[in-house]
Structure 1
Protein backbone atom coordinates (compact mmCIF):
# COMPACT_ATOMS: atom_id res chain seq x y z
CA UNK A 1 0.00 0.00 0.00
CA UNK A 2 1.33 3.43 -0.98
CA UNK A 3 0.96 6.29 1.46
CA UNK A 4 1.88 9.97 1.02
CA UNK A 5 2.94 11.90 4.12
CA UNK A 6 4.30 15.33 4.91
CA UNK A 7 7.30 14.94 7.19
CA UNK A 8 10.60 16.17 8.58
CA UNK A 9 13.66 13.89 8.66
CA UNK A 10 14.73 13.65 12.31
CA UNK A 11 17.25 10.79 12.12
CA UNK A 12 19.29 8.89 9.54
CA UNK A 13 21.25 5.66 9.93
CA UNK A 14 23.39 4.05 7.25
CA UNK A 15 22.29 0.51 6.40
CA UNK A 16 24.67 -1.57 4.34
CA UNK A 17 26.73 -0.03 1.55
CA UNK A 18 24.01 1.92 -0.25
CA UNK A 19 20.92 2.18 1.94
CA UNK A 20 19.68 4.35 4.79
CA UNK A 21 17.05 3.91 7.45
CA UNK A 22 15.49 7.31 8.03
CA UNK A 23 13.14 8.36 10.79
CA UNK A 24 10.42 10.77 9.75
CA UNK A 25 8.22 12.84 11.98
CA UNK A 26 5.04 13.11 9.95
CA UNK A 27 2.10 15.45 10.19
CA UNK A 28 -0.35 12.61 9.63
CA UNK A 29 1.06 9.62 11.55
CA UNK A 30 3.63 10.85 14.02
CA UNK A 31 7.03 9.13 14.00
CA UNK A 32 7.74 6.41 11.45
CA UNK A 33 10.85 4.66 10.20
CA UNK A 34 11.41 3.83 6.53
CA UNK A 35 14.09 2.21 4.39
CA UNK A 36 15.56 4.48 1.72
CA UNK A 37 17.14 2.00 -0.69
CA UNK A 38 20.14 3.33 -2.59
CA UNK A 39 19.99 6.69 -0.78
CA UNK A 40 23.77 6.67 -0.19
CA UNK A 41 24.44 6.64 -3.92
CA UNK A 42 25.29 10.17 -5.13
CA UNK A 43 22.92 9.95 -8.12
CA UNK A 44 20.04 8.44 -6.21
CA UNK A 45 16.77 10.36 -6.37
CA UNK A 46 16.42 9.69 -2.64
CA UNK A 47 19.82 11.07 -1.67
CA UNK A 48 18.74 14.71 -1.28
CA UNK A 49 15.49 14.00 0.58
CA UNK A 50 17.05 11.60 3.09
CA UNK A 51 19.24 14.25 4.77
CA UNK A 52 18.62 15.49 8.34
CA UNK A 53 16.05 18.29 8.75
CA UNK A 54 14.63 17.95 5.22
CA UNK A 55 10.96 18.90 5.23
CA UNK A 56 9.18 17.24 2.37
CA UNK A 57 6.37 15.20 0.87
CA UNK A 58 7.20 11.50 0.94
CA UNK A 59 5.61 8.49 -0.77
CA UNK A 60 6.03 5.33 1.29
CA UNK A 61 5.25 1.72 0.50
CA UNK A 62 3.90 0.20 3.70
CA UNK A 63 4.02 -3.56 4.01
CA UNK A 64 4.04 -5.80 7.06
CA UNK A 65 7.42 -4.57 8.33
CA UNK A 66 9.56 -1.48 7.84
CA UNK A 67 8.15 0.79 5.15
CA UNK A 68 10.11 1.66 2.01
CA UNK A 69 10.61 5.19 0.75
CA UNK A 70 9.56 5.29 -2.92
CA UNK A 71 9.71 9.01 -3.60
CA UNK A 72 10.37 12.32 -1.89
CA UNK A 73 9.91 15.95 -2.85
CA UNK A 74 11.59 18.67 -0.82
CA UNK A 75 9.38 21.45 0.53
CA UNK A 76 12.14 23.11 2.56
CA UNK A 77 15.75 21.97 2.93
CA UNK A 78 16.56 24.26 5.88
CA UNK A 79 19.89 24.66 4.14
CA UNK A 80 21.03 27.45 6.45
CA UNK A 81 20.74 25.09 9.42
CA UNK A 82 22.57 22.22 7.75
CA UNK A 83 25.44 24.51 6.69
CA UNK A 84 25.92 26.12 10.12
CA UNK A 85 27.55 23.97 12.81
CA UNK A 86 25.88 25.72 15.73
CA UNK A 87 22.40 25.73 14.21
CA UNK A 88 22.79 22.10 13.16
CA UNK A 89 23.77 21.14 16.72
CA UNK A 90 20.65 22.76 18.20
CA UNK A 91 18.46 21.28 15.47
CA UNK A 92 19.91 17.81 16.04
CA UNK A 93 19.21 18.14 19.76
CA UNK A 94 15.53 18.97 19.30
CA UNK A 95 15.19 16.30 16.61
CA UNK A 96 16.68 13.72 18.97
CA UNK A 97 14.26 14.85 21.68
CA UNK A 98 11.37 14.15 19.33
CA UNK A 99 12.83 10.76 18.43
CA UNK A 100 13.48 9.65 22.01
CA UNK A 101 10.32 11.01 23.66
CA UNK A 102 7.70 9.82 21.16
CA UNK A 103 6.27 6.43 20.28
CA UNK A 104 6.14 5.02 16.75
CA UNK A 105 2.92 5.72 14.82
CA UNK A 106 1.46 7.88 17.59
CA UNK A 107 0.39 11.40 16.64
CA UNK A 108 1.00 14.09 19.25
CA UNK A 109 -1.15 17.20 18.93
CA UNK A 110 0.80 20.20 17.58
CA UNK A 111 4.20 18.45 17.75
CA UNK A 112 4.78 18.55 14.01
CA UNK A 113 4.05 22.28 14.04
CA UNK A 114 6.37 22.83 17.01
CA UNK A 115 9.20 21.01 15.26
CA UNK A 116 8.70 22.80 11.95
CA UNK A 117 8.36 26.24 13.52
CA UNK A 118 11.44 25.71 15.71
CA UNK A 119 13.54 24.87 12.64
CA UNK A 120 12.01 27.73 10.65
CA UNK A 121 12.71 30.25 13.44
CA UNK A 122 16.32 29.06 13.75
CA UNK A 123 16.82 29.33 9.99
CA UNK A 124 15.34 32.83 10.06
CA UNK A 125 17.85 34.14 12.62
CA UNK A 126 16.15 33.61 16.00
CA UNK A 127 18.41 32.72 18.92
CA UNK A 128 18.71 28.91 18.68
CA UNK A 129 19.36 28.56 22.40
CA UNK A 130 16.11 30.37 23.26
CA UNK A 131 14.21 28.30 20.69
CA UNK A 132 15.64 25.14 22.24
CA UNK A 133 14.61 26.13 25.77
CA UNK A 134 11.07 26.80 24.50
CA UNK A 135 11.01 23.45 22.71
CA UNK A 136 12.19 21.65 25.83
CA UNK A 137 9.34 23.18 27.81
CA UNK A 138 6.79 22.27 25.12
CA UNK A 139 8.03 18.66 25.08
CA UNK A 140 7.29 18.15 28.80
CA UNK A 141 3.65 17.39 28.00
CA UNK A 142 4.66 14.95 25.27
CA UNK A 143 6.96 13.16 27.71
CA UNK A 144 4.21 13.07 30.34
CA UNK A 145 6.33 14.83 32.96
CA UNK A 146 4.82 18.32 33.20
CA UNK A 147 5.88 20.23 36.35
CA UNK A 148 3.68 22.37 38.60
CA UNK A 149 4.10 25.93 37.33
CA UNK A 150 0.86 27.65 38.44
CA UNK A 151 1.37 27.52 42.21
CA UNK A 152 3.69 26.29 44.93
CA UNK A 153 3.98 22.54 44.50
CA UNK A 154 4.18 22.07 48.28
CA UNK A 155 1.46 24.32 49.74
CA UNK A 156 -0.51 25.63 46.74
CA UNK A 157 0.35 29.27 47.34
CA UNK A 158 0.05 31.50 44.28
CA UNK A 159 2.55 34.07 45.50
CA UNK A 160 5.58 34.58 43.27
CA UNK A 161 7.84 31.50 43.59
CA UNK A 162 11.45 31.88 44.66
CA UNK A 163 12.83 28.49 43.60
CA UNK A 164 12.22 25.41 41.47
CA UNK A 165 12.30 22.04 43.18
CA UNK A 166 13.39 19.06 41.11
CA UNK A 167 12.52 16.81 44.05
CA UNK A 168 8.89 17.98 44.24
CA UNK A 169 8.50 18.76 40.54
CA UNK A 170 7.66 22.44 40.41
CA UNK A 171 7.92 25.93 41.83
CA UNK A 172 8.06 26.49 45.58
CA UNK A 173 7.29 29.65 47.52
CA UNK A 174 9.46 31.35 50.13
CA UNK A 175 7.58 29.71 53.02
CA UNK A 176 8.33 26.23 51.64
CA UNK A 177 11.92 26.87 50.65
CA UNK A 178 13.17 24.96 53.71
CA UNK A 179 11.57 21.76 52.38
CA UNK A 180 14.17 21.35 49.63
CA UNK A 181 17.66 22.64 50.30
CA UNK A 182 18.69 21.63 46.77
CA UNK A 183 16.00 23.67 45.00
CA UNK A 184 17.23 26.00 42.25
CA UNK A 185 16.82 29.69 43.16
CA UNK A 186 14.71 31.49 40.54
CA UNK A 187 14.65 35.14 39.62
CA UNK A 188 11.23 36.60 38.81
CA UNK A 189 12.38 36.73 35.18
CA UNK A 190 13.12 33.00 35.12
CA UNK A 191 9.75 32.22 36.73
CA UNK A 192 8.01 34.31 34.08
CA UNK A 193 9.95 32.73 31.22
CA UNK A 194 9.41 29.12 32.32
CA UNK A 195 5.68 29.77 32.44
CA UNK A 196 5.74 31.69 29.16
CA UNK A 197 7.74 29.04 27.30
CA UNK A 198 5.42 26.27 28.53
CA UNK A 199 2.28 28.09 27.37
CA UNK A 200 3.65 29.95 24.34
CA UNK A 201 2.04 29.73 20.93
CA UNK A 202 5.07 29.35 18.66
CA UNK A 203 3.17 30.96 15.78
CA UNK A 204 3.30 34.21 17.75
CA UNK A 205 6.94 33.98 18.78
CA UNK A 206 8.78 37.25 18.30
CA UNK A 207 12.43 38.09 18.88
CA UNK A 208 13.50 37.22 22.43
CA UNK A 209 16.97 38.18 23.67
CA UNK A 210 18.14 37.02 27.07
CA UNK A 211 21.12 37.68 29.29
CA UNK A 212 23.57 34.83 29.67
CA UNK A 213 22.75 34.56 33.37
CA UNK A 214 19.07 34.04 32.57
CA UNK A 215 19.86 31.52 29.84
CA UNK A 216 22.04 29.56 32.24
CA UNK A 217 19.37 29.59 34.97
CA UNK A 218 16.77 28.27 32.52
CA UNK A 219 19.12 25.63 31.18
CA UNK A 220 20.10 24.32 34.62
CA UNK A 221 16.51 23.93 35.77
CA UNK A 222 15.15 22.38 32.57
CA UNK A 223 18.07 19.99 32.11
CA UNK A 224 18.01 18.86 35.75
CA UNK A 225 14.27 18.23 35.48
CA UNK A 226 14.68 16.12 32.32
CA UNK A 227 17.56 14.21 33.89
CA UNK A 228 15.39 13.33 36.88
CA UNK A 229 12.13 12.44 35.15
CA UNK A 230 12.51 11.74 31.41
CA UNK A 231 14.56 8.54 31.56
CA UNK A 232 16.35 9.32 28.27
CA UNK A 233 19.92 10.23 27.41
CA UNK A 234 20.53 12.43 24.37
CA UNK A 235 23.82 11.89 22.55
CA UNK A 236 23.63 15.33 20.94
CA UNK A 237 23.60 17.09 24.30
CA UNK A 238 27.31 16.91 25.11
CA UNK A 239 28.37 18.52 21.83
CA UNK A 240 25.67 21.17 22.17
CA UNK A 241 26.84 22.03 25.67
CA UNK A 242 30.39 22.47 24.36
CA UNK A 243 29.16 24.92 21.75
CA UNK A 244 27.14 26.87 24.32
CA UNK A 245 30.21 27.24 26.53
CA UNK A 246 32.11 28.72 23.57
CA UNK A 247 29.45 31.38 22.93
CA UNK A 248 30.76 34.59 24.52
CA UNK A 249 28.39 37.11 22.94
CA UNK A 250 26.53 39.44 25.37
CA UNK A 251 22.72 39.52 25.32
CA UNK A 252 20.05 41.47 27.18
CA UNK A 253 16.73 40.46 28.65
CA UNK A 254 13.46 41.61 27.12
Structure 2
Protein backbone atom coordinates (compact mmCIF):
# COMPACT_ATOMS: atom_id res chain seq x y z
CA UNK A 1 0.00 0.00 0.00
CA UNK A 2 3.04 2.29 0.31
CA UNK A 3 3.05 3.22 -3.39
CA UNK A 4 -0.68 4.00 -3.26
CA UNK A 5 -0.17 6.92 -0.90
CA UNK A 6 2.76 8.61 -2.62
CA UNK A 7 2.30 12.22 -3.74
CA UNK A 8 0.57 12.69 -7.09
CA UNK A 9 -1.22 9.37 -6.93
CA UNK A 10 -4.90 9.05 -7.77
CA UNK A 11 -7.21 6.19 -6.91
CA UNK A 12 -10.02 4.96 -4.73
CA UNK A 13 -9.13 4.87 -1.06
CA UNK A 14 -11.12 2.91 1.52
CA UNK A 15 -10.77 3.63 5.20
CA UNK A 16 -12.23 5.38 8.19
CA UNK A 17 -12.28 9.11 8.81
CA UNK A 18 -12.41 9.87 12.49
CA UNK A 19 -13.41 13.28 13.83
CA UNK A 20 -10.88 12.84 16.62
CA UNK A 21 -7.58 11.02 16.58
CA UNK A 22 -6.09 9.31 13.56
CA UNK A 23 -7.91 8.29 10.41
CA UNK A 24 -6.86 5.18 8.51
CA UNK A 25 -6.67 3.93 4.92
CA UNK A 26 -7.37 0.21 4.88
CA UNK A 27 -7.48 -0.56 1.15
CA UNK A 28 -6.89 1.02 -2.25
CA UNK A 29 -8.24 0.36 -5.74
CA UNK A 30 -7.48 1.66 -9.22
CA UNK A 31 -4.27 3.42 -8.28
CA UNK A 32 -2.70 5.63 -10.95
CA UNK A 33 0.49 7.54 -10.32
CA UNK A 34 1.45 10.67 -12.26
CA UNK A 35 4.93 9.34 -13.06
CA UNK A 36 6.20 12.31 -15.11
CA UNK A 37 5.14 14.78 -12.42
CA UNK A 38 6.93 12.71 -9.78
CA UNK A 39 10.14 12.51 -11.82
CA UNK A 40 10.41 16.11 -13.05
CA UNK A 41 11.00 18.83 -10.45
CA UNK A 42 9.51 21.56 -12.69
CA UNK A 43 6.33 19.61 -13.42
CA UNK A 44 6.18 18.73 -9.72
CA UNK A 45 6.35 22.44 -8.84
CA UNK A 46 3.51 23.34 -11.24
CA UNK A 47 1.34 20.48 -9.97
CA UNK A 48 2.01 21.40 -6.35
CA UNK A 49 1.17 25.04 -7.07
CA UNK A 50 -2.15 24.07 -8.69
CA UNK A 51 -3.09 21.87 -5.74
CA UNK A 52 -2.16 24.54 -3.19
CA UNK A 53 -4.05 27.21 -5.14
CA UNK A 54 -7.20 25.09 -5.24
CA UNK A 55 -6.78 24.23 -1.57
CA UNK A 56 -6.58 27.95 -0.71
CA UNK A 57 -9.63 28.73 -2.86
CA UNK A 58 -11.79 26.15 -1.11
CA UNK A 59 -10.27 26.35 2.38
CA UNK A 60 -13.33 27.96 3.94
CA UNK A 61 -15.78 26.10 1.74
CA UNK A 62 -18.29 23.73 3.29
CA UNK A 63 -18.55 21.67 0.08
CA UNK A 64 -15.46 19.46 0.22
CA UNK A 65 -16.89 17.19 -2.46
CA UNK A 66 -16.80 19.77 -5.23
CA UNK A 67 -16.65 17.33 -8.14
CA UNK A 68 -16.38 20.03 -10.81
CA UNK A 69 -13.08 21.30 -9.44
CA UNK A 70 -11.89 17.82 -8.50
CA UNK A 71 -12.37 16.70 -12.11
CA UNK A 72 -10.80 19.91 -13.44
CA UNK A 73 -7.70 19.50 -11.27
CA UNK A 74 -7.44 15.80 -12.09
CA UNK A 75 -7.59 16.66 -15.80
CA UNK A 76 -4.98 19.42 -15.36
CA UNK A 77 -2.61 17.01 -13.62
CA UNK A 78 -3.22 14.37 -16.31
CA UNK A 79 -2.45 16.87 -19.07
CA UNK A 80 0.74 18.03 -17.35
CA UNK A 81 1.76 14.41 -16.78
CA UNK A 82 1.10 13.64 -20.47
CA UNK A 83 3.43 16.39 -21.67
CA UNK A 84 1.17 19.39 -22.19
CA UNK A 85 2.73 22.76 -21.39
CA UNK A 86 2.53 22.94 -17.59
CA UNK A 87 2.65 26.73 -17.52
CA UNK A 88 -0.31 27.05 -19.90
CA UNK A 89 -2.37 24.51 -17.95
CA UNK A 90 -1.50 26.32 -14.71
CA UNK A 91 -2.47 29.69 -16.21
CA UNK A 92 -5.83 28.28 -17.29
CA UNK A 93 -6.50 27.04 -13.75
CA UNK A 94 -5.42 30.41 -12.29
CA UNK A 95 -7.76 32.42 -14.53
CA UNK A 96 -10.71 30.09 -14.00
CA UNK A 97 -10.18 30.00 -10.24
CA UNK A 98 -10.36 33.79 -9.80
CA UNK A 99 -14.08 33.65 -9.00
CA UNK A 100 -13.44 31.39 -6.01
CA UNK A 101 -11.22 34.14 -4.59
CA UNK A 102 -14.00 36.70 -4.97
CA UNK A 103 -12.72 38.28 -8.19
CA UNK A 104 -14.67 37.51 -11.35
CA UNK A 105 -13.51 39.79 -14.17
CA UNK A 106 -15.61 40.02 -17.30
CA UNK A 107 -13.31 38.62 -20.00
CA UNK A 108 -15.99 38.03 -22.63
CA UNK A 109 -17.12 41.49 -23.72
CA UNK A 110 -16.62 45.20 -23.14
CA UNK A 111 -18.19 46.08 -19.79
CA UNK A 112 -19.52 49.34 -21.27
CA UNK A 113 -21.07 48.37 -24.61
CA UNK A 114 -20.87 44.57 -24.82
CA UNK A 115 -18.52 44.52 -27.83
CA UNK A 116 -16.93 41.10 -28.33
CA UNK A 117 -14.77 41.73 -31.42
CA UNK A 118 -12.25 44.50 -30.89
CA UNK A 119 -8.94 45.32 -29.31
CA UNK A 120 -9.37 45.09 -25.57
CA UNK A 121 -7.64 46.16 -22.40
CA UNK A 122 -8.32 45.33 -18.78
CA UNK A 123 -9.77 47.91 -16.40
CA UNK A 124 -9.53 47.27 -12.66
CA UNK A 125 -11.98 50.13 -12.08
CA UNK A 126 -14.66 48.51 -14.22
CA UNK A 127 -13.82 44.91 -13.28
CA UNK A 128 -13.43 43.70 -16.83
CA UNK A 129 -12.32 44.48 -20.32
CA UNK A 130 -12.88 47.67 -22.27
CA UNK A 131 -13.03 47.81 -26.05
CA UNK A 132 -10.77 50.29 -27.83
CA UNK A 133 -13.49 52.94 -28.17
CA UNK A 134 -13.91 53.04 -24.36
CA UNK A 135 -10.24 53.07 -23.35
CA UNK A 136 -10.55 56.80 -22.65
CA UNK A 137 -12.90 56.00 -19.75
CA UNK A 138 -10.07 54.53 -17.66
CA UNK A 139 -6.73 56.27 -18.02
CA UNK A 140 -5.30 53.77 -15.49
CA UNK A 141 -6.22 50.69 -17.53
CA UNK A 142 -3.46 48.09 -17.63
CA UNK A 143 -2.32 48.68 -21.24
CA UNK A 144 -1.90 44.96 -21.81
CA UNK A 145 -0.47 43.54 -24.99
CA UNK A 146 -3.23 42.25 -27.29
CA UNK A 147 -1.75 38.74 -27.21
CA UNK A 148 -2.05 38.79 -23.42
CA UNK A 149 -5.69 39.84 -23.69
CA UNK A 150 -6.31 37.10 -26.25
CA UNK A 151 -4.95 34.41 -23.95
CA UNK A 152 -6.72 35.73 -20.84
CA UNK A 153 -10.01 35.65 -22.71
CA UNK A 154 -9.36 32.14 -24.07
CA UNK A 155 -8.12 30.78 -20.73
CA UNK A 156 -11.29 31.98 -19.01
CA UNK A 157 -13.49 29.72 -21.16
CA UNK A 158 -11.34 26.79 -22.29
CA UNK A 159 -12.50 23.36 -21.17
CA UNK A 160 -9.48 21.20 -20.32
CA UNK A 161 -11.41 18.11 -21.42
CA UNK A 162 -11.19 19.26 -25.04
CA UNK A 163 -7.41 19.67 -25.10
CA UNK A 164 -5.65 16.86 -26.92
The residue that corresponds to 1:91 in the other structure is 47
Give 1 or 2: higher helix fraction.
Answer: 2
Is it true that 1:55 corresponds to 2:10 in the alignment?
yes
Give 1 or 2: higher strand fraction.
Answer: 1
Rounded Cα–Cα distance in structure 2 between residues aligned with 1:50 and 1:200: 31
The residue that corresponds to 2:101 in the other structure is 143
- 1:149-182 per-residue CA deviation (whole Å, 9 max, x = no partner) reads 22222x2340524211233321112233234333
Shift of 1:72: 4.7
SS of residue paired to 1:145: coil
Is it true that 1:71 corresponds to 2:26 in the alignment?
yes
Rounded Cα–Cα distance in structure 2 between residues aligned with 1:69 and 1:144: 35
Contact 1:90/1:129, CA 8 A, preserved across alignment: yes
Rounded Cα–Cα distance in structure 1 between residues aligned with 2:145 and 2:139: 17
Distance 1:128 1:172, change over 3 A: same
TM normalised by structure 2 equals 0.82
Is it true that 1:120 corresponds to 2:96 in the alignment?
no
SS of residue paired to 1:151: coil
Structure 2 gap ranges (5+): none
Contact 1:160/1:188, CA 8 A, preserved across alignment: no
Shift of 1:112: 1.2
Shift of 1:60: 2.9
Distance 1:67 1:191, change over 3 A: farther
The residue that corresponds to 1:229 in the other structure is none
RMSD between aligned residues: 2.3
The residue that corresponds to 1:163 in the other structure is 121
